[in-house]
């Protein structure tokens, strides 16, 4: 996995009172990062107050301040609150795992270290942070280029957003291509609802980036093969507000943020993050909601196969007026009735591979 930091390697800080653990971390990561080591939490905080780092690896069990105490202190300091932190621990307590994520860590790694696994997880987190930091600038630059070069650059903008969507989908090994499929479905819904080609394109782009906030959710939670705990589900739900915060900074296309924030709202008001009800939900988000649900049901998961089309139709029909806007549920049902053997989904897969 390559991360483009230019000529300089990322700078990581490893904090552990065990010298052998620090030596192991240095040996595992030295080809990929410049590593600074500290043996206690207080000296780590002092270092972070004066130096900018790309990642902190923080042992949980240390004398003085333990790892979570250091992490909580970091979250209250402006200069270090956004630094990604991995907690290191030999503890197998499930409650500790929950506390780690609730305190703001991006991941945890258990001791003894498995070198290849540790290296992969650290590099993936660094890649995600790099993408998150450069995402807003990249989309803004591509959008300005599109405005300058009109129609030819509009395609470049679309391709850039599509590439970003594929990057987000790559975090979840069970939903490859999800964002593009949702974007295609929602464009069909908008077309059947009578929207102009310009509005259809706008809604398509919103569909592509509706899940972009997942870049801020730990990969370990997204790819967890078993049922999520309540706390983990609460973390998953933050992808709506994370995505909104990312996309609202793109002044040239402010509508992008609407789909990211509101696609999990429900017609009956029982959705999140704002509990909006009925027509108070942005109309684009209502379209994305039914398209998103359709793709979820027609995608293979770790715990189930693709649902039969008749069952998918029944679930959409049951959600009409409860989970979904009745108008767009009806359009989705029309698309399903015209779609024999998932040909609609297959055509999207062909688009992705072309």
Q: What is the pLDDT of residues 68-111, one digit of tens each?
A: 999 999 999 999 999 999 999 998 788 888 899 999 999 989 99
Is the domain of 39 the same as that of 109? Answer: yes
Site of tokens 């270290």: 113
| pTM, full prediction | 0.62
pLDDT tens for residues 22-48?
999 999 999 999 999 999 999 999 999
The yes-or-no answer on residue 72 being catalytic is no
Banded model confidence at residue 295, pLDDT cuts 50, 70, 90 = very high
Task: Quote the tokens at residue 46.
Answer: 């002092």
The answer to whether residue 168 is domain-embedded is: yes
Task: Count Cβ neighbours within 10 Å for each residue of 133-165 and write b for 16 or more, e otherwise.
Answer: eebeeebeebbeebeeeeeebeeebbebbbebb
The answer to whether residue 130 is domain-embedded is: no
Banded model confidence at residue 286, pLDDT cuts 50, 70, 90 = very high
Query: Is the pLDDT assigned to residue 349 strictly greater than 50?
Result: no
Write the CATH number for 92: 3.40.50.2300
Q: 91 lies in which domain range?
A: 11-113
- In terms of C-beta density within 10 A (0-12 exposed, 13-18 middle, 19 or more buried), how is residue 309 classed? middle
- Closest by CA position to 100, among listed 47, 28, 92: 92
The answer to whether residue 344 is domain-embedded is: yes
Is the domain of 313 the same as that of 200? Answer: yes
What is the total residue count of the chain?
A: 354
Q: What pLDDT sits at residue 302?
A: 62
The residues, ordered by sequence, that sit 6+ positions from 64 with a Cβ below 8 Å of its Cβ are: 40, 41, 42
Exactly one of 171, 173, 199, 214 is catalytic; name it.
214
Q: What pLDDT sits at residue 350?
A: 41
Q: What is the mean pLDDT of residues 4-27?
A: 88
pLDDT tens for residues 318-348?
999 999 999 999 999 999 998 755 556 554 4
The answer to whether residue 230 is domain-embedded is: yes
How many domains, in total, are found in the chain?
2
Q: What pLDDT sits at residue 307?
A: 85
């Amino acid at each position: 996995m390559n991360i483009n930091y230019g000529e300089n390697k990322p700078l990581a800080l490893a904090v552990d009172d065990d010298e052998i653990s620090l030596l192991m971390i240095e040996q595992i990561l030295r080809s990929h990062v410049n590593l600074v080591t500290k043996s206690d939490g207080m000296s780590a905080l002092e270092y972070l107050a004066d130096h900018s780092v790309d990642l902190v690896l923080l042992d949980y069990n240390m004398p003085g301040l333990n790892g979570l105490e250091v992490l909580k202190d970091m979250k209250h300091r402006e200069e270090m609150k956004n630094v990604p932190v991995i907690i290191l621990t030999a503890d197998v307590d499930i409650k500790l795992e929950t506390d780690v994520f609730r305190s703001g860590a991006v991941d945890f790694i258990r001791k003894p270290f498995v070198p290849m696994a540790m290296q992969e997880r650290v590099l993936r987190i660094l890649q995600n942070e790099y993408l998150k930091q450069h995402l807003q600038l990249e989309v803004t630059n591509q959008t300005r280029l599109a405005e300058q070069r009109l129609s030819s650059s509009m395609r470049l903008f679309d391709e850039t957003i599509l590439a970003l969507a594929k990057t987000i989908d790559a975090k979840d090994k069970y939903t490859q291509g999800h964002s593009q499929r949702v974007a295609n479905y929602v464009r069909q819904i908008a077309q059947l609802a009578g929207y102009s080609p310009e509005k259809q394109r706008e809604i398509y782009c919103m569909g592509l980036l509706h899940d972009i906030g997942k870049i801020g959710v730990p990969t370990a939670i997204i790819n967890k093969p078993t049922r999520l705990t309540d706390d983990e589900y609460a973390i998953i739900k933050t992808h709506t507000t994370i995505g909104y915060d990312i996309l609202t900074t793109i002044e040239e296309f402010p509508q992008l943020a609407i789909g990211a924030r509101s696609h999990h709202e429900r017609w009956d008001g029982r959705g999140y993050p704002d509990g909006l009800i009925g027509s108070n939900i942005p109309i684009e988000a209502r379209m994305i909601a039914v398209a998103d649900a359709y793709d979820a049901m027609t995608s293979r998961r770790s715990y189930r196969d693709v649902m039969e089309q008749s069952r998918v139709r029944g679930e959409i029909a049951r959600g009409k007026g409860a989970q979904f806007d009745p108008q767009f549920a009806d359009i989705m049902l029309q698309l399903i009735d015209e779609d024999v053997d998932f040909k609609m989904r297959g055509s999207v897969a062909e688009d992705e591979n072309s």
